[in-house]
Homo-oligomer: A and B are copies of this chain.
Amino acid sequence: MDFATLIGFIAGVAIFLWAMISGSGGDVGGFWDTPSFVMVIGGGIATTLLSVKMNRFLGLMGICKNALFNKNRPADEMIKQFVKLADISRREGVLALQNQVAGIENKFVANALQLVIDGTDPEIVKQTMEYELMAIDARHAEGKQVLDLLGKYAPAYGMIGTLIGLVIMLQNMDDPKKIGPGMAVALLTTMYGAVMANMVCLPLADKLNNTHSSEMLNLTIAQAGIAGLQAGENPRMLESKLMVFLSPGARAAGAAGAKAA
């Protein structure tokens, strides 16, 4: 789990609440208007529901959990795993890798490794991995899209709500004293939409995007590793080839760790 996500989320909300409390002298009641809240959140959810399939929308909680509790392994673990597999394959033959498959957490790697053990043609292994990458890419995009849509339609309903509020206010300008409070309420939907988008949906979508990029880099390493395994490459050769995916700093640390191991 990455604490930065949680800390960032809590700190963002805390700063927002503190700004409202300190600005209004503690009288935060004026920032709450139930119809405005229902309009923005409900409207944003309804329109997102219009755009995506039901089961994808219901996966939103899982998506947020993924964004908050990212189990993505660092790239150097992936490299170490392949060096170990290449060592075993070299010493005991490719069939000895069968015992390792069950222990591999990453489904993509386990699946491709099984194909290698089954003696599948390298070209087919490569094609299969590419198909799986394409499908993973599509699934990740689907997950992120729910947040993108919420972050797009919640502010849209916020703007529509503000227009409704302004029209009502402008049609009832007899009592100048009501203008201020009327406009304040009208602005609340815009504020709720901006908060929903910029403090929740878009940052979580950015987070998912980052997690996705890291995982894609990991799977590119896995592709290179599987190809090396199948070509029977020397474990040291394979390691130095995969090491280029790490930053020079991480490379030195990884090399040190490999020696220690």
Give A residues with C-beta under 8 Å from B. 2-5, 7-9, 11-12, 15-16, 18-20, 22-24, 30-31, 35, 38-39, 42-43, 45-54, 57, 70, 107, 111, 124, 127-129, 131-132, 134-135, 138-139, 141-142, 145, 149, 153, 156-157, 159-161, 163-173, 177, 179-181, 183-184, 187-188, 190-191, 194-195, 197-199, 203-204, 206-207, 210, 213, 217, 220, 224, 241-242, 244-248
Task: Tell me the interface secondary structure of chain A in the complex.
Answer: helix
Q: Are A8 and B49 in touch, CB under 8 angstroms?
A: yes
Shortest CB–CB separation between residue A181 and chain B, in angstroms? 6
5 smallest beta-carbon distances between A and B, as pairs: A8-B49, A8-B50, A173-B180, A4-B54, A11-B46
Given that A23-B165, A135-B245 are known contacts, is A156 also in contact with B4, CB under 8 Å in the complex?
no
Cβ of A198 and Cβ of B49 under 8 Å apart?
no
Q: A42-B11, A50-B4 are in contact. Are A156 and B194 (CB under 8 A)?
A: yes
B194 touches A23 (CB 8 A): no
B149 touches A166 (CB 8 A): no
A4/B168 contact (C-beta < 8 A), A42-B11, A131-B224 known: no
Some 23 contacts from A to B, beta carbons below 8 A apart, are: A4-B49, A4-B53, A7-B49, A11-B42, A11-B46, A16-B157, A19-B38, A22-B35, A43-B199, A50-B204, A50-B206, A50-B207, A51-B206, A131-B224, A134-B217, A134-B220, A135-B244, A135-B245, A135-B246, A145-B210, A167-B184, A170-B181, A173-B179
